[in-house]
Structure 1
Amino acid sequence: MPPIPLRPPNTSTLHPWAVVLAAGKSSRLGEAGVETRKQFLQWQGVPLFWHSVRVFARTAGLRGVVVVFPAEELATGEAWVRRLIDAEQPGIPVTVVQGGTLRQDSVRHGLAGLPRECDVVFVHDAARPFVRPALVVRLLTELRDTSAVGVVPGLPVTDTVKQVHEGRVLSTPDRASLQAVQTPQVFLRVLLEKAHQHCRQYGWTVTDDASVVERLGAEVRVVPGDVGNIKITHPDDLNLLKELTVPAISVPCVGFGYDVHRFGPGRPLRLGGVPFPGAPEIIAHSDGDVLLHALADALLGCLGKGDIGELFPDSDARYAGIDSAVLVSEVLELVRRGGLQLTHVDLTIVAQVPKVAPRREEIRRNVARLLELEYGQIGVKASTEEGLGFTGAKQGIKAMAVVTAMRPSGPKNAEH
């Protein structure tokens, strides 16, 4: 067995991409009379495969997505992707490749379509349209912070499992040691490519990518999965795509956030996740994105949960240089758990330098993508202070954020 590839020396500079597998034949649904392949079924106005693309586009740090379509549906898939990119501007590159006969062939084709700089790859089934960014972040964090070369989401098995042959029970495994795994699964690219090369060379047939990597003797870890991350497989599963009745939401709430950072030797300036090359550097523990820090505080204000300094203290080395979009994603997960429905976000940047106006719409699109809101629900403004104060003296930058939301009325609200 060849040696297992080493982890990259600096995991803080990972370049993760995602491969979304939309090359299945949907045989079970076809046998039930469903003519459209499930990856092209419409849900909330777009085909199922695009929901996975959206999630990866909204996940902090993801650099791009490769979508794998069946050969006979490649033109259809390409046309959908072009239209959806034009309509939504996902903010990351989305490319298309042709799949293969087996799932493992499609994964191999997807890997071949990744750019050279990609060193970490997620593999996800388009038939799981309910995946959320928080799960993607959880997987990437585990890969970055441990010795694992692959990480998968798993759920405890609740039913007793029997090993059966020709109708006869052979054994009953202890279900305490069993997990049902999901996608997405994330791996070091060099290792996953090597595993699939062996898969092809030795004729292995596998049902998920982790099992290929495991055959190389590499360490694969499991993190808690998401019970809502359901796979559309059987005809009855199509009921999950029916619009759910939304409970009455009647209590408005408003959160305000404010943050300041000094200019000085430190970190490159970013505003709303958008880099400003040539601008003054920021003195900060994290990446110093003053706008996203104000936004995170405003979101926490809607929940009555203090500020990001309490959740992500600058005394914790884990957050040194961290992408502020990751922090916002973590706060957004708290917003979801609290049952809040965001309605509008208004952001203001106050600085003498740099000039924000030329990048204002880019910031607006990026924040909308990060919060999973429509473009029209985000307002971004920039102002100077006419040469007054520390911003006028070009000593620093500040930002303010106002978030409006609706929260469920009733006893649950009291918990938050």
Structure 2
Amino acid sequence: MMVWTILLAAGQGTRLSASTGGLAKQFLEWKGAPLYWESARVFARCARMRGLVFVFPEASLETERERVERLMRACPLGLPWKTVAGGSLRQDSVRQGLAALPESCGKVLVHDAARPFASPALVNRVLDGLGERGEEGAAACIPGIPVVDTVKVVDAGVVVSTPDRRRLVAVQTPQGFGLDRLRAAHERAEREGWVVTDDAALLELCGERVRVVDGEPGNIKITTPEDLPMLRDTVRKTPCVGYGYDVHKYADGKEAKQPARPMRLGGVAIPDAPEVLAHSDGDVLLHALMDALLGCTGGGDIGTFFPDSDPAFDNVSSVVLLDTVLDELRKTGIVLSHVDMTIIAQIPKIGPYRETIRKNVARLLGLEPGAVNVKATTEEGLGFTGERLGIKAVAVVTGMRGES
């Protein structure tokens, strides 16, 4: 089923207003854009995502729609998107977002725009828990982290009870839902007059099964003035460089050591091109890119992470594998800044697809298109590429590593 995300950016941010000059937290500038844009970039890097709905305050809906249009022109996310006005309560805003989803949408993620630190790996974990890959899933899947402090239930300043914290988790977003079930829960909430602080609570009230997966300690919500320093870049950084190289043989119908796959480059299908022999989907460009990214981390190569002897990676999308590598990059604190890639092949002609490949790789990496370069060349008829026996690619990436 198609997956869309509702990005909630309609709150008033009253607890922060004195520290921000009255500006709601989701509109604070960070990395040259409003805070909500960082979350949009994260979701755009997830291969299974098919669209975004931005929910803004009604008073600023037109202003923010125009701003999203400008941001999309400057750094296209490669996803369809819509904007809608929110309501006075969080659940009103979600309900407005649900009404804007297309008929083709079957599953939906709901995310607070004030959580800019969520990762694509977390998004994929929630989707997996929801059953997006075919296994029987739950009505909802939410990320949570263990509660480390003792929690007291208090009434009128007096402790009533102490819950067992081993059974408690602090809940985060994005939260994932089967669309029909979430809509039904919101309709019942309107009839019953329920007011809740997250959508999972509505599913619980309806008696639905809600699954919990591991959240991320760094997935913090900007809520109070004490949280604002997290948006300041005070870490000293040093540059790092990674190099990647990969080769795939063209299928000739004579050998079957590996399956023949339709050619994809940078996640883009290349029609009328030779098929390639590969255990995965055979995207030689993304394979070289992943090796370069792992070069930055000192983490080995893609064979270490995704061995071709493992049936789990049979015909797996290289875009999905890239998400895993990018999560490794994030764990090391490296911020990617530039990518330069070269495709070497006698056939097919890369020129007609070069710009599409460049934009798609930029989207997958969360970079502006100007930070990604794609080149193509032949070897003048020399070597195995010149003899039209295969294709190869090289990639060089640069980034900045934070120092503690």
What's the TM-score, normalizing by structure 2?
Answer: 0.89
Return the offset for 1:52. Answer: 1.1
- Contact residue 263 and residue 397 of structure 1 kept, 8 A: no
> CA shift at 1:367, angstroms?
1.7
CA 1:282–1:188 in 2, change beyond 3 Å: closer, same or farther?
Answer: farther
Partner of 2:246: 258
Provide structure 2 residue ranges, at least 5 long, that are not aligned to the other structure. 253-258
Aligned CA distance change for structure 1 residues 341 and 207 (closer, same or farther; 3 Å):
closer
> Cα distance, 1:34 vs. partner?
3.5
Give the whole-Å Cα distance in 1 for the aligned partners of 2:398 and 2:17: 45
Gaps of 5+ in 1: 1-13
Query: Residues 260 and 399 of structure 1 are in contact (CA less than 8 Å); yes or no, is this contact kept in structure 2?
Result: no
* Corresponding residue of 2:137: 148
Aligned residue pairs total 395
SS in 1 for 2:159: strand
RMSD of aligned Cα (Å): 2.5
Provide closer, same or farther for how the CA distance between residues 278 and 111 of structure 1 changes in structure 2, counting only shifts above 3 A: farther
Matched, 1:246 2:249: no
**Is the contact between residue 139 and residue 152 of structure 1 (CA under 8 Å) also seen in structure 2?**
yes
* Deviation of 1:203 (Å): 2.1
Aligned partner of 2:181 among 182, 185, 191: 191
In structure 2, the CA distance between the partners of 1:87 and 1:395, relative to structure 1 (3 Å rule), is same
Q: Give the Å deviation of 1:195.
A: 2.0
CA distance in 1, matches of 2:276, 2:169: 45
Q: C-alpha offsets along residues 273-319 of structure 1, whole Å, 9 cap, x if unaligned?
A: 12223434444332221110111112223333332122112333332
- Hey, what's the Cα distance between the residues in 2 that align with 1:58 and 1:253? 22
Specify whether residues 287 and 89 from structure 1 end up closer, same or farther in structure 2 by C-alpha distance, changes over 3 A only: same
**Which residue in 1 is equivalent to 2:122?**
135
Alignment of 1:79-228 (within 5 A): 79-143=66-130, 144=132, 147-149=136-138, 150-228=140-218
CA deviation after TM superposition for structure 1 residue 369, in Å: 2.6
Asked whether the 8 Å contact 2:152–2:160 carries over to 1, the reply is yes
Compare 296-305 and 148-157 and name the one that shifted more. Answer: 296-305
Are the counterparts in 1 of residues 75 and 369 from structure 2 also a CA contact under 8 Å? no
Cα distance change, pair 33–350 in 1 and its aligned pair in 2 (3 A) = closer
Contact 1:148 1:220 in 2 (8 A): no
2:308 to 291, 308, 314: 314
- Deviation above 6 Å: which 4+ runs of structure 1? none
Measured after TM superposition, the shift of residue 174 of structure 1 is 0.2
Which of 372-381 and 158-167 deviates more? 372-381
Note closer, same or farther for the CA distance 1:219–1:388 as it changes in structure 2 (3 Å cut).
farther
SS in 2 for 1:119: strand
Aligned residues with identical type, % of pairs: 54
SS of 1:28's equivalent in the other structure is coil
Q: 1:18 to 1:165 in 2, by over 3 A?
A: same
Would the aligned equivalents of 2:249 and 2:277 in 1 still touch at CA under 8 Å?
Answer: yes
Helix, strand or coil for the counterpart of 1:381? strand
**Kindly tell me: are residues 115 and 277 of structure 1, through their superposed partners in 2, closer, same or farther at Cα, counting changes over 3 Å?**
farther
Q: Using the alignment, how far apart are the partners of 2:301 and 2:115 within structure 1?
A: 34
Displacement of 1:343 in angstroms is 4.4
Q: Which residue of 2 aligns with 1:300?
A: 294
Residues 79-106 of structure 1: CA deviation (Å, up to 9, x unaligned): 2111111121222122111212321121
TM-score (norm 1): 0.86
Change (3 A) 1:279 1:338: same
Question: CA 1:49–1:340 in 2, change beyond 3 Å: closer, same or farther?
Answer: closer
Which residue of the other structure, out of 324, 333, 342, is the alignment partner of 1:330?
A: 324
SS at 1:240 equivalent: helix
